[in-house]
């Protein structure tokens, strides 16, 4: 496993001042370390992407699609290594690591198909006024910077890389310093496929490297996934240079359970929405709104299920939930447990760190959480569920929408007409009805309000890397 940076088609050692430690969160111990890229190396990566752009954007869309299919195939060939690395570095249970890999493969395959359709999108525009013709050209935005977090490293990068390369953009990817080895696979695959040098560059590092990329004046666009605090800095740098930015930020999403639900099925959906990836999901449904008629039956069942989850080291045990991925995240979640105690919240399950090595916490449930509790409104990014009861559909919608975020929501009800009505009223980017966290490449991903700007996946994910041009000709 190489531990360096991929710039202009070559693997290079980092010349930055930060040392990056790569940890196994189940043990709380490092298993690799390397030096971050320097600001000068970020410059080199952007310059490499710039010089590769003219040839890559004029490469036929079918040839770009063939490269994308190659990425999908090569990810499959690295299956076992990538699953193990996600288990070891993210702490993901095996089945979750497998799903992430399959998602990344599906993303490259999907954008290969969209790339193949690109020539047919450049077509004439019918005009009402005679004497002119007009045609559309969808052009790549240019050189794009891609900055991603640590919770779904293979997936988040695939959602940006695949459409950007399909559109004809060249890229500089900065993975998270918490999980920097996983995306090395994309550089290794670029090498194996003979992707032209400079089309894909990878620089690793912490905030300094990220800021060097997001402030760089050689980019045409920046696409960022991560926290709101860094997202607003990234937006400021985009604003300073008047260039486009896509932001995929945090969430505090609701799961609304009406009293016509099957209790066991509802519990299954609720638990998956808060314990998948140990709750470290922008789309975690961390606010449970449960209707009065079902609450007394559901909450004890939920408590028992959370208490019985198998939490442990995914590399050595059969587990339902692994550790939190970083010590910083573990400390952050523990600080919310302390806040909950100070606020006097009613804890039905968990509420503590596990007494063992590594960065484990118990799946946690607080009941009847007041609306003004910090735990009700702030993104915790851990397996911490807060519940409130509601009486009517109107109240459920109002409480679900009463958030500065608007990423996703889940609606559980046997009355499908009602579920669809509620879905339409929720101010979020994606609603699941009677299902949980089901993301398909054909549908969009992204949020309203504080959850970000723009959409990934689907044709919208491709448009994010395209610039629309029209050529209008006078026939006279």
Which of 179/413 has CB closer to ligand NAD? 179
Q: 325 with 91: CB under 8 angstroms?
A: yes
Shortest distance (Å) from residue 73 CB to ligand NAD? 26
CA separation (Å) from 83 to 94, 99, 187, 378, 452? 7, 9, 17, 31, 29
Task: Give the end-to-end CA distance of the chain in Å, rounded to a whole number.
Answer: 64
Among all residues, whose Cβ is closest to ligand NAD? 210
- Look at the block and give the residue holding tokens 């525009």: 125
How many residues touch ligand NAD (CB under 6 A)? Answer: 31
Q: 331 with 338: CB under 8 angstroms?
A: no
Which of 103/177 has CB closer to ligand NAD? 177
Interface of this chain with ligand NAD, residues 380 to 409, rule: CB under 6 A: 381, 407
Q: 233 with 214: CB under 8 angstroms?
A: yes
Q: Exactly one of 46, 138, 147, 367 binds ligand NAD (CB under 6 A); which one?
A: 147
Burial status of residue 239 (CB atoms within 10 A of its CB: 0-12, 13-18, 19 or more)? exposed
Which of 170/179 has CB closer to ligand NAD? 179
Which of 206/388 has CB closer to ligand NAD? 206
Return the half-sphere exposure (C-beta side, CA atoms, 13 A cut-off) of residue 112. Answer: 16
Q: 146 with 46: CB under 8 angstroms?
A: no
Shortest distance (Å) from residue 30 CB to ligand NAD? 17
207 binds ligand NAD (CB under 6 A): yes
Give the range of 14-22, 183-191, 247-255, 352-360 binding ligand NAD by CB under 6 A. Answer: 247-255
172 binds ligand NAD (CB under 6 A): no
DSSP string, 94-136: HHHHHHHHHHHHHHHHHHHHHHHHHHHHS-B---SSTTEEEEE
248 binds ligand NAD (CB under 6 A): yes
Give the range of 64-72, 91-99, 170-178, 317-325 binding ligand NAD by CB under 6 A. Answer: 170-178
250 binds ligand NAD (CB under 6 A): yes
Give the x-and-dash track for 416-455 against ligand NAD (CB under 6 A): -------------------------------x---xx---
Shortest distance (Å) from residue 230 CB to ligand NAD? 3
CA separation (Å) from 235 to 9, 172, 178, 240, 246? 29, 18, 22, 9, 9
Shortest distance (Å) from residue 447 CB to ligand NAD? 6
- Residues marked as catalytic: 248
Q: Which two tokens stand for residue 369?
A: 């959480």
227 binds ligand NAD (CB under 6 A): yes
* Beta strands 132-140; 466-474: pairing state: antiparallel
Q: Exactly one of 176, 184, 305, 325 binds ligand NAD (CB under 6 A); which one?
A: 176
Report the interface residues with ligand NAD, using CB under 6 A: 147-151, 156, 174, 176-177, 206-207, 210-211, 214, 225-227, 230, 233-234, 248-251, 282, 379, 381, 407, 447, 451-452
């Amino acid at each position: 496993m190489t531990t360096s940076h991929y710039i202009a088609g070559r693997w290079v050692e980092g010349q930055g001042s930060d040392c990056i430690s790569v940890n196994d969160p189940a043990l709380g111990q490092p298993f690799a370390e390397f030096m971050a890229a320097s600001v000068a190396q970020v410059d080199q990566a952007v310059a490499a992407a710039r010089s590769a752009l003219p040839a890559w954007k004029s490469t036929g869309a079918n040839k770009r699609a063939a490269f994308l299919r190659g990425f999908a195939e090569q990810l499959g060939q690295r299956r076992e290594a990538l699953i193990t690395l996600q288990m070891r570095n993210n702490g993901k249970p095996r089945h979750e690591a497998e799903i992430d890999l399959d998602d990344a493969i599906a993303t490259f395959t999907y954008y290969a198909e969209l790339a193949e359709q690109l020539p047919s999108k450049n077509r004439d525009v019918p005009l009402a006024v005679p004497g002119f013709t007009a045609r559309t050209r969808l052009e790549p935005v240019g050189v794009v910077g891609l900055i991603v977090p640590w919770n779904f490293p293979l997936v988040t990068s695939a959602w940006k890389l695949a459409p950007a390369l399909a559109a004809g953009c060249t890229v500089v990817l900065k993975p998270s310093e918490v999980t920097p080895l996983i995306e090395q696979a994309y550089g290794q695959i670029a090498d194996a496929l003979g992707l032209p040098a400079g089309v894909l560059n990878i620089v690793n590092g912490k905030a300094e490297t990220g800021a060097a990329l997001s402030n760089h004046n050689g980019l045409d666009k920046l696409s960022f996934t991560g926290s709101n605090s860094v997202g607003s800095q990234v937006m400021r740098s985009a604003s300073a240079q008047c260039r486009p930015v896509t932001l995929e930020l945090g969430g505090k999403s609701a799961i609304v359970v009406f009293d016509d639900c099957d209790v066991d099925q509802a519990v299954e959906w609720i638990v998956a929405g808060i314990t998948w990836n140990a709750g470290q999901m922008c789309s975690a449904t961390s606010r449970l709104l449960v209707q009065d008629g079902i609450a007394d039956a559901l909450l004890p069942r939920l408590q028992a299920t959370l208490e019985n989850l198998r939490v442990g080291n995914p590399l050595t045990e059969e587990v339902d939930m692994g550790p939190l991925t970083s010590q910083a995240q573990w400390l952050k979640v523990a600080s919310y447990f302390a806040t909950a105690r100070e606020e006097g919240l009613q804890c039905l399950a968990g509420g503590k760190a596990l007494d063992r090595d590594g960065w484990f916490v118990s799946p946690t449930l607080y009941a009847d959480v007041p609306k003004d509790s910090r735990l009700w409104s702030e993104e915790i990014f851990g397996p911490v569920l807060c519940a409130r009861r509601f009486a009517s559909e109107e109240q459920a919608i109002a409480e679900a929408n009463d958030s500065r975020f608007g990423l996703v929501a889940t609606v559980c009800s046997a009355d499908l007409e009602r579920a669809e009505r509620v879905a339409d009223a929720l101010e979020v980017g994606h609603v699941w009805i009677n299902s949980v966290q089901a993301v398909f490449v054909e549908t969009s991903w992204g949020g309203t309000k504080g959850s970000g700007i723009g959409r990934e996946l689907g044709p919208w994910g491709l448009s994010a890397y395209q610039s629309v041009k029209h050529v209008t000709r006078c026939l006279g």
